Structure 1
Amino acid sequence: MKLTPKQKKFADEYIKTGNAMQSAITAGYSKEYAKARSSKMSENVGIKSYIEKRMEQIASPNILTAEQILERLTGIVTGEITETVVVATPIGVEKTEKTADFKTQISAMRDIMKRYPNNDKLIEQQIRKLSAEADIAQKKAELLSGNNSDINININPFEEDI
């Protein structure tokens, strides 16, 4: 299947950014069209095939595969992957391992779910609820610590940042 120049530019931009809507706009589609159709464009058989071929061409042993990325994101969500942090103690500093905070875990869950466009709506709503609960817990902690900043709670965590 032959791609139009716009479709090819969309696919090339999508490879760079992973953001279907922004890639469509950069390729020359209107913002309205991009908003309504960009996710369907990335599922187009011709575009998908082109992206897969290009990804094979640019593959490098130094670049993570999609499977490796999903495994790493899953490790973050489950707490199998930890990070080393330096903590101040009364006698100096100490290194310790900690799992990702809830916001990071939720972000990883969102990234995983983006790869499955036909994901279960119940799971999507559960992640949305967890995200709201994490926002509330963070604001409560800020209020208790004396940081009286404005309270903004993200109630739609699945909207892409533009």
Structure 2
Amino acid sequence: MIVFCGYANIDLTVGVPALPAPGDRVQATAIRHGHGGMAANASAAAARAGADAWFAGVVGPDPGSTAFLAALAADGVRTDWTARTGTLTTAVVLLTPDGERAVISQDDELDARHITRTVRAAREAGADWLYLDGYRFPEAAAAL
């Protein structure tokens, strides 16, 4: 079992010919909405590869969050430890044709208490690995 604790968000990926400099205006070449977030993406990839993957992030009680969790479940990810007490955040990804990118992200509501609950639940369930994404320290230090 691998437990992924961290970001879940809606990605707004905007194709641009080049990343804008301060004050520049560029025209989008494409705009795509999709599910994202470091932990959510990693959990889906692990499940698709055959791992027993669990996602333990924070999303909201809204229909968009329900659809997000349903997409993870369709990939084989367990979401039992995901809190529905926050907001499904958004990340804007500017992406050039050669793969250069800039990311503007909204922080989530995953706090030290949620990390502590997830660590305990993972330990009690006999998890083999715990993946903490993003900028979870020092909040995670005490729980670990």
> Structure 1 length as normaliser, TM-score?
0.29
Higher helix share: 1
From the CA coordinates, give the structure whose radius of gyration is larger.
1
Which has the larger share of strand?
2
- Greater relative contact order structure (CA < 8 Å, 6+ sep): 2
**TM-score, length-normalised on structure 2?**
0.32
